Amino acid sequence: MVSIDVIVPNLIVGILVICMGSLVVWRRKTLNEFIYDSQKKLLGPRIARASAGRQTPFMMGVVGGFIVILGIAMVTVGIVGIVQRLSP
């Protein structure tokens, strides 16, 4: 049984998480370059290559896909909670 306290937050945050995950997938190359440049300015080029330099846009897309799946799961829990409350 899904608690009534988590139905609305799951629906709201779940939709936002789906949107953010889709944005990560859609803008993965730009996001990857931004992270690498930011770490290069903050930590130096050698450390940035060791951490953010190993990331690829493909892996950013995979992470974005997992974020979308997490959002879908949140919305599903919210919908299941509504159905449980409405059923006799």
Q: What pLDDT score does 7 carry?
A: 94
pLDDT at 1: 84
pLDDT value for 58: 94
Three-class SS state of 6: helix
Kindly list the domain boundaries of the chain, sorted by start residue: 4-86
pLDDT in tens, the chain (88 residues): 888 899 999 999 999 999 999 999 999 999 999 988 998 999 898 888 888 778 889 999 999 999 999 999 999 999 999 999 998 7
| Rounded CA separation 14/8 (Å) | 10
